[in-house]
């Protein structure tokens, strides 16, 4: 089992953060997909990405990277999750999590819409708002916090390099980070 886990709210760039860490550790290279993410990568050799509760996974890993979001950004995060994952794969099982009383046809009708329905976005926001450690650091020395704002607007390479030092050439990694940040802003209007 990997000794590093990135814990994130769905849609808060957990795969992107994992890609940066994997690049720092091994020089791994990644590309940004057409959805403004890095979801084409199935598994990293050294980093696991998880949406599980921190309380449930903290003892399973040596390093836990926690992506912290600002509550005002939760609607962008949920929107990103919907378009880059749920709608991309027509994931009825996950959509049912937000609409437990809908039947299969009602869920399919949501996917048939061109835009994310307001009711679905509100259900996603309500569901993810309940998890307090999406918005503040978990109180444990094992936690490595990084903000979603840093991932999308800052210098996450330098931030994460403090925890995962490297002698690798970071030129390509920095280019990929800029590409991700620009694509993310363009696609999701941030």
- Give yes or no for residue 1 having a pLDDT over 50: no
On whether both 62 and 150 belong to a single domain, the answer is yes
Tell me: do 136 and 54 sit in the same domain: yes
The predicted structure's pLDDT at residue 186: 85
Q: Rounded to two decimals, what is the model's pTM?
A: 0.92
Mean pLDDT score across all residues of the chain:
92
Q: Based on the structure, what is the number of domains in the chain?
A: 2
For residue 27, the enclosing domain spans 4-72+132-188
pLDDT of residue 126 exceeding 90, the answer is yes
Domain match, 66 and 136 both: yes
Q: For helices 171-188 and 14-26, give the axis angle rounded to 10 degrees.
A: 170
Residues 8 and 68 both lie in one domain: yes
- Residue 136: predicted pLDDT: 96
Tens-place pLDDT, residues 15-69: 999 999 999 999 888 888 887 778 767 678 899 999 999 999 999 999 999 999 9
User: What pLDDT is recorded for position 37?
Assistant: 79
pLDDT average, residue stretch 108-130: 96
pLDDT reported for residue 187? 79
Residue where a domain stops, chosen among 114, 129, 144: 129
Q: Please determine, for residue 2, whether its predicted confidence score (pLDDT) is greater than 70.
A: no
Q: Check residue 78 and give its pLDDT.
A: 95
């Amino acid at each position: 089992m990997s000794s590093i886990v990135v814990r994130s709210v769905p849609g808060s760039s957990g795969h992107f953060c994992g890609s940066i860490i994997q690049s720092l550790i091994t020089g791994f290279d990644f590309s940004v997909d057409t959805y403004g993410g890095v979801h084409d990568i199935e598994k990293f050799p050294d980093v696991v990405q998880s949406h599980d509760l921190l309380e449930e996974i903290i003892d399973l890993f040596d390093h836990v990277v926690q992506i912290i979001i600002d509550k005002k950004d939760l609607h962008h995060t949920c929107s990103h999750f919907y378009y880059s994952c749920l709608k991309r794969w027509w994931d009825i099982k996950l959509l049912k999590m937000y609409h437990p009383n809908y039947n299969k046809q009602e869920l399919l009708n949501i996917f048939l819409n061109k835009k994310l329905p307001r009711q679905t976005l509100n259900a996603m926001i309500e569901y993810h708002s309940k998890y307090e450690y999406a918005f503040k650091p978990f109180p444990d020395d094992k936690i490595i916090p990084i903000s979603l704002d840093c991932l999308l607007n800052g210098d996450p390479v330098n931030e994460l390099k403090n925890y995962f030092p490297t002698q690798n050439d970071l030129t390509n990694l920095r280019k990929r980070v800029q590409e991700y940040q620009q694509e993310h802003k363009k696609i999701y209007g941030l």
